[in-house]
Amino acid sequence: MVYGIKKYGPSVAAFADKINEQKLAQLEEAKQASIQQIQNAIDMEKSQQALTQKRLYLFDQFVFIKTCGLTKDYQIIV
């Protein structure tokens, strides 16, 4: 048994290390893909929030114009 460990131990260890490195590489790839997907979702949310702010600004301007009675002079398309 000692002979087998001395003879095949290093090659078995190298094989196990190779498999371990492959698994770690796959996990790192999945991690990076997940991070990218989450970053894309964050960017989309930021753009949607900016769009909502612009719509609120336009709505506030419309309400201001309407309450001031300026709708007769301006054509407002809603």
Number of domains in the chain: 1
Q: How many residues does the chain have?
A: 78
**CA distances in angstroms from 76 to 11, 33, 36, listed in the order given:** 79, 46, 42
What is the per-residue pLDDT for 30? 98
* DSSP 8-state symbol, 73: T
For residue 28, give its domain range: 2-53
In this structure, is residue 38 part of a structural domain? yes
Q: How far is CA 12 from CA 3, 35, 37, in A?
A: 14, 34, 38
58: Cα separation from own chain's centroid: 29
In this prediction, residue 29 carries a pLDDT of 98
pLDDT of residue 4: 66
pLDDT higher at 44 or 12: 44
pLDDT in tens, 18-67: 999 999 999 999 999 999 999 999 999 999 999 999 988 888 887 777 77
Residue 62 located in a structural domain: no
Is the model's pTM score more than 0.75?
no
Query: Which pLDDT does position 58 carry in this prediction?
Result: 86
What was the pLDDT predicted at 7? 75
